[in-house]
């Protein structure tokens, strides 16, 4: 949010510079949480229920997303950017592929949700396929190979689409090309998801290694902080060769180390209970979808009414309002559909139980 707030207050400038990496933490957490869910289900049942998984993902993601998308399309005067991608790209979660930065900057942050949805679609299939062809023991090599492939793709895309524009001093075009060809495409942003899945796989299938890791929770927290600070030095400029090539995997490994620390009972992060962070986490999805729109509306109103407000006050108003709107959206849409999801899943369980008892009786 701080990264998307421009210009950020001077005292928050260091966070704003590296704030783009928040999405990489999002990917690491998603890779771990969804990967753990699917791998544990497969370990228990030797199968994955596609129906249950996609029902869970649909009701968690789609209703709130469609409401916000509808607002963007029905109220174009509220948009924060230059325009939007075609509607079908949002509905198929392919907005991040072939992105037109110059003409589609409204609701542009949905690019990361596109990667998440593509991940949700493919991961259950990939897990079942991996076990079906008995390649699960090679999963570590496959993940390392995919990380290396991502690095090579970013090197190629940088040399092909970004460096030539730097050479002829086309700064604005160069920045657009960086985002379109390196930052947004799914095949360039797998690092965080792969790190998260790796942690999930170790914790699910390698209990001895898991125990070794969680016994060193504080060391992993320290490692994560050191790697993050190193990445901050290397990637101080988001649009740079170092960031494009090394930044994404380094940031992801740093966040992966912090996730391991947070899962370790010996680490203070594990013991830390905070109602504030729990509250923010509960509203995070609704806030994620709406915050750029809220920032734009508030700043526009301040300008239209010629209010001379302190920049820190404006920042505070924007952040507070974004949280309030996120809360309203969560209470009215998100929570309602999560309750509906639970009723549907409970109904499925009851039907299966009844069918099982009838079968046993027969």
User: Looking at residue 9, what DSSP letter applies?
Assistant: P
pLDDT in tens, 33-68: 999 999 999 999 999 999 999 999 999 999 999 999
Nearest to 184 by CA among 253, 247, 245, 98: 98
- Residue 5 domain flag: no
- Residue 1 domain flag: no
Give me the number of domains the chain comprises.
Answer: 1
CA dist 295 and 322 (Å) reads 7
The CA-to-CA distance between both ends of the chain, in Å, stands at 59
Per-residue model confidence (pLDDT) at position 177: 96
Of residues 358 and 35, the one with the higher pLDDT is 35
pLDDT in tens, 78-87: 999 889 999 9
- Which domain covers residue 204, as residue numbers? 10-361
- Residue 2 domain flag: no
Residues near 132 by Cβ (< 8 Å), separated by ≥ 6?
Answer: none
Residues near 32 by Cβ (< 8 Å), separated by ≥ 6?
Answer: 196, 197, 199, 200, 259
Per-residue model confidence (pLDDT) at position 277: 87
- Supply the mean pLDDT for the chain: 92
For 309-361, the DSSP string reads --HHHHHHHHHHHHHHHHHHHIIIIIHHHHHHHHHHHHHHHHHHHHHHHHHHH
- Residue 75 domain flag: yes
Per-residue model confidence (pLDDT) at position 268: 87
Kindly state the average pLDDT of the residues 280-298: 96
pLDDT over threshold 90, residue 124: yes
Inter-CA distances, 162 with 151, 159, 333, Å: 15, 6, 41
Element (H, E) at 13: helix 13-18
CA dist 161 and 177 (Å) reads 6
Per-residue model confidence (pLDDT) at position 218: 94
Nearest to 184 by CA among 250, 257, 93: 93
pLDDT over threshold 80, residue 361: no
Half-sphere exposure of 46 (CA within 13 A, CB side): 2
pLDDT over threshold 60, residue 355: no
- Residue 205 domain flag: yes
- Residue 4 domain flag: no
CA dist 138 and 152 (Å) reads 21
| Residue percentage of the chain with pLDDT more than 90 | 80
- Residue 47 domain flag: yes
- Residue 3 domain flag: no
| Residue percentage of the chain with pLDDT more than 70 | 96
- Alpha-carbon torsion angle 17, 20, 22, 26, nearest 10: -170
pLDDT in tens, 295-349: 999 999 999 998 989 999 999 999 999 999 999 999 999 999 999 999 998 876 6
Residues near 309 by Cβ (< 8 Å), separated by ≥ 6?
Answer: 302, 317
pLDDT over threshold 90, residue 187: yes
For 36-87, the DSSP string reads HHHHHHHHHHSS--HHHHHHHHHHHHHHHHHHHHHHHHH-GGG-SSS----H
Q: Which two tokens stand for residue 240?
A: 């740079």
pLDDT in tens, 198-247: 999 999 999 999 999 999 999 999 999 999 999 888 777 889 999 899 89
Per-residue model confidence (pLDDT) at position 52: 94
């Amino acid at each position: 949010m701080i990264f998307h707030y421009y210009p950020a207050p001077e005292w928050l400038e260091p966070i704003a510079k590296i704030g783009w990496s928040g999405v990489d933490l999002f990917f690491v957490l998603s890779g771990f949480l969804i990967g753990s869910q699917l791998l544990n289900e497969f370990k228990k049942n030797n199968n994955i229920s596609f129906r249950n998984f996609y029902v869970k993902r649909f009701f968690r993601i789609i209703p709130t997303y469609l409401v916000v998308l509808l607002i963007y399309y029905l109220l174009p005067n509220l948009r924060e950017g230059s325009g939007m991608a075609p509607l079908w790209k949002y509905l198929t979660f392919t907005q991040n592929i072939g992105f037109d930065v110059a003409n589609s900057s409204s609701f542009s942050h949905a690019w990361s949700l596109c990667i998440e949805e593509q991940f949700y679609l493919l991961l259950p299939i990939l897990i079942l396929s991996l076990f079906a062809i008995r390649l699960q023991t090679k999963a570590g090599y496959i993940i390392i190979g995919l990380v290396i492939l991502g690095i090579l793709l970013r090197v190629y895309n940088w040399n092909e689409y970004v460096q030539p524009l730097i050479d002829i001093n086309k700064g604005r075009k160069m920045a657009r090309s960086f985002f379109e060809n390196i930052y947004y495409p799914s095949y360039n942003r797998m690092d965080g998801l792969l790190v998260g899945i790796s942690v999930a796989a170790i914790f699910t299938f390698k209990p001895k290694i898991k125990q070794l890791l969680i016994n060193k929770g504080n060391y992993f927290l320290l490692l994560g902080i050191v790697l993050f600070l190193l990445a901050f030095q290397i990637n101080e400029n988001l649009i740079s060769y170092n960031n494009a090539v090394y930044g994404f995997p380094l940031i992801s490994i740093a966040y992966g180390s912090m996730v391991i620390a947070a899962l370790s009972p010996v680490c203070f992060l594990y013991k830390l209970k905070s109602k504030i962070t729990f509250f923010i986490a509960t509203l995070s999805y609704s806030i994620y979808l709406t915050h750029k729109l809220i920032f734009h509306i508030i700043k526009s109103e301040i300008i239209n009414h010629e209010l001379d407000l302190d920049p820190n006050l404006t920042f505070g108003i924007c952040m507070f309002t974004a949280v309030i709107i996120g809360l309203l959206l969560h209470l009215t849409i998100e929570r309602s559909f999560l309750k509906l999801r639970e009723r549907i899943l409970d109904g499925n369980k009851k039907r299966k139980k009844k069918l099982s008892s009838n079968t046993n009786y027969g």
